[in-house]
């Protein structure tokens, strides 16, 4: 039966990037997914970095059941109470002046809408993003994505400019003592932006922690300096908190650490706890000007009550179960365990991230810092054999970077269990390659 399944997959599916995991998944519950042999696999990626409440959370199941039974989808010009309830919770959770919400379904869709708002509000069209960015696969979002997928599809949207990703581990910008000089790198990046610009800079869209880009965390102070540079040029700041929002970093939103609020924030992934829910939140000033200028984003599932009800339940569970604080506490444990791994193995080059969104970069050696794609693939396979699913970044030269993002509901025992498997797998693969 397994052979038939994979044969049909080859014949019937369009492959959309990377390789499929070699297990047929039948069900999921809590922090585990179960394959066709009913083998439990600890999920250290929360599905696609989304299921922050774990799989089949009872509150989400109850909400979906009730919504499907009573009110799931409406004509896009109709409104329901769940949409207003969610918009109120979003506004209450965010600093002023972020108060007006557009409810959508996917992260790419939310970023499309945010970019359109920025262009319409400013009257300009140029969008700046990191050179390792990933904001989605639809036109404007893909054009602001520099890490992959740019070749073979014709011209991207004009006016997309790249800013150097502040990768402290690999950046060539260094102070005299060897420490990372992100200030000079950022200033240099904007000098290039200014040279490339046609005089129509509209916005900068970034993740506070780049995920597909390799779990790259912005240095403390970076966001504040970026805000200054944008203000000097009349640009808006769009934060894509698809993976960092709703508690994962140990704060409700990752930008809170820096005390720098965006002009527009996009949420997805974590907002739906594994279901397709996304939102754009901005100020009354931006919304009103864009409305006056005819802002149009009329989609089939805009303001769907089912999506609103699910996201509202996510907020309720996070608050009731103190999951933000839990992510911070478990994140401290995760950081300590990963740091121990780094100190113990010459092939563990760097550990980075916050809360329950952290990364571990494998290299050929600490001295060379050479990317270790083959090693990463071998460790991934060894982990899966032991019952742990880990995700490596699926980009050339980055296949040794693990993204670790378990559900916020994971038990401390399961967190240690997964890290024990990772430690054993690294030791086994390194020993085998050295033999």
Quick check: is 347 catalytic? no
Quick check: is 217 catalytic? no
Give helix 412-434 / helix 373-385 axis angle, nearest 10°: 130
Contact 259, 224 (CB under 8 A): yes
pLDDT of residue 19: 84
The percentage of residues in the chain with a pLDDT greater than 70, rounded to a whole number, is 99
Fold match flag (2-57+322-434 vs 71-320): no
Cα(26)–Cα(22) distance, integer angstroms: 13
Strand blocks (E) in 94-248? 98-104, 126-130, 160-163, 201-206, 209-210, 216-217, 236-240
Say yes or no to pLDDT of 264 above 90: yes
Q: What is the pLDDT of residues 328-351, one digit of tens each?
A: 999 999 999 999 999 999 999 999
pLDDT of residue 434: 81
Quick check: is 240 catalytic? yes
Contact 349, 123 (CB under 8 A): no
With tokens 């989400």, the residue in question is 60
What pLDDT band is residue 1 in, cutting at 50, 70 and 90?
low
Say yes or no to pLDDT of 394 above 80: no
Cα Rg of the chain (Å, integer): 22
What 420-423 contacts at long range (C-beta under 8 Å, 24+ apart), as own/partner pairs, is: 421/42, 421/383, 421/386, 421/387, 421/388, 422/341, 422/360, 422/379, 422/383, 422/388, 422/390, 423/337, 423/341
As a whole number, mean pLDDT of residues 284-300 equals 98
Say yes or no to pLDDT of 391 above 70: yes
Residues 6+ apart with CB under 8 A from 321: 409
Say yes or no to pLDDT of 96 above 80: yes
pLDDT of residue 170: 95
Domain 71-320 annotated CATH 3.40.640.10 = yes
Across 272-281, 309-318, 388-397, least confident range: 388-397
Cα(104)–Cα(97) distance, integer angstroms: 21
Cα(4)–Cα(1) distance, integer angstroms: 5
With tokens 């740091």, the residue in question is 339
Quick check: is 243 catalytic? yes
pLDDT of residue 259: 96
Q: What is the pLDDT of residues 39-93, one digit of tens each?
A: 999 999 999 999 999 999 999 999 999 999 999 999 999 999 999 999 999 999 9
Say yes or no to pLDDT of 222 above 80: yes
As a whole number, mean pLDDT of residues 237-251 equals 98
pTM exceeding 0.85: yes
Cα(390)–Cα(294) distance, integer angstroms: 45
Say yes or no to pLDDT of 395 above 80: no
* Catalytic residue selected from 126, 287, 403, 414: 403
Residue 315, CA atoms < 13 Å, CB-side half-sphere:
20
Q: What is the pLDDT of residues 167-176, one digit of tens each?
A: 999 999 999 9
Q: What is the mean pLDDT of the chain?
A: 96
With tokens 């994979």, the residue in question is 6
Contact 316, 60 (CB under 8 A): no
> What SS3 string covers 404-419?
ECCCCCCCHHHHHHHH
* Catalytic residue selected from 35, 134, 263, 326: 134
pLDDT of residue 329: 98
Domain ranges of the chain: 2-57+322-434, 71-320
* Catalytic residue selected from 89, 119, 248, 269: 269
The percentage of residues in the chain with a pLDDT greater than 90, rounded to a whole number, is 94
Quick check: is 364 catalytic? no
Quick check: is 6 catalytic? no
Contact 238, 16 (CB under 8 A): no
- Residue 106: closest CA among 96, 114, 94: 114
Q: What is the pLDDT of residues 363-377, one digit of tens each?
A: 999 999 999 999 999
How many residues comprise the chain? 435
* Catalytic residue selected from 35, 100, 227, 243: 243
**CATH T-level topology, domain 2-57+322-434:** 3.90.1150
Instruction: Transcribe 339-356 into DSSP letters.
Output: HHHHHH-TTEEEEEEETT
pLDDT of residue 308: 98
* Catalytic residue selected from 112, 240, 241, 287: 240
């Amino acid at each position: 039966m397994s052979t038939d399944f994979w044969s049909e997959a080859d014949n019937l599916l369009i492959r959309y990037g990377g390789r499929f995991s070699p297990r047929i998944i039948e069900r999921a519950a809590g922090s585990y997914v179960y394959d066709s042999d009913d083998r439990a696999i600890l999920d250290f990626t929360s599905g696609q970095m989304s299921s922050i409440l774990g799989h089949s959370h009872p509150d989400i199941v109850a909400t979906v059941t009730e919504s499907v039974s009573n009110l799931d989808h409406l004509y896009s010009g109709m409104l329901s109470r769940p949409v207003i309830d969610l918009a109120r919770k979003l506004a209450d959770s965010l600093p002023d002046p972020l108060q007006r919400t557009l409810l959508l379904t996917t992260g790419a869709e939310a970023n499309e809408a945010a970019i359109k708002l920025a262009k319409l509000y400013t009257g300009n069209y140029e969008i700046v993003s990191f050179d390792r960015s990933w904001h989605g696969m639809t036109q404007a979002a893909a054009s602001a994505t520099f890490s992959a997928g740019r070749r073979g599809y014709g011209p991207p949207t004009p006016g997309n400019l790249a800013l150097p990703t502040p990768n402290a581990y690999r950046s060539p910008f260094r102070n005299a003592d060897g420490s990372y000089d992100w200030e000079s790198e950022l200033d240099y990046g904007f000098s290039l932006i200014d040279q490339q610009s046609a005089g129509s800079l509209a916005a900068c869209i970034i993740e506070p922690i780049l995920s597909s880009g390799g779990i790259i965390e912005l240095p403390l102070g970076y966001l504040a300096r970026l805000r200054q540079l944008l203000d000097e040029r009349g640009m808006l700041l769009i934060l894509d908190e698809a993976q960092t929002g709703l508690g994962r970093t140990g704060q409700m939103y990752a930008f809170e650490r820096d005390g720098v609020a965006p002009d527009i924030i996009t949420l997805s992934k974590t907002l739906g706890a594994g279901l397709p829910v996304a939102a754009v939140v901005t100020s009354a000033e931006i919304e009103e000007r864009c409305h006056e200028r005819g802002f149009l984003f009329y989609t089939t599932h805009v303001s769907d009550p089912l999506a609103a009800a699910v996201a509202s339940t996510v907020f309720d569970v996070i608050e009731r179960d103190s999951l933000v604080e839990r992510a911070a506490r478990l994140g401290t444990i995760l950081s300590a365990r990963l740091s121990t791994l780094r100190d113990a193995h010459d092939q563990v080059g760097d550990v980075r991230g916050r809360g329950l969104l952290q990364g571990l970069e494998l290299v050929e050696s600490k001295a060379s810092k050479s990317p270790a794609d083959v090693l990463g693939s071998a460790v991934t396979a060894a982990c899966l054999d032991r019952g742990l699913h880990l995700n490596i970044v699926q980009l050339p030269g980055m296949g040794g970077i693990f993204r670790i993002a378990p559900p916020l509901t994971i038990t401390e025992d399961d967190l240690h269990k997964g890290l024990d498997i990772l430690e054993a797998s690294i030791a086994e693969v390194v020993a085998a390659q050295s033999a």
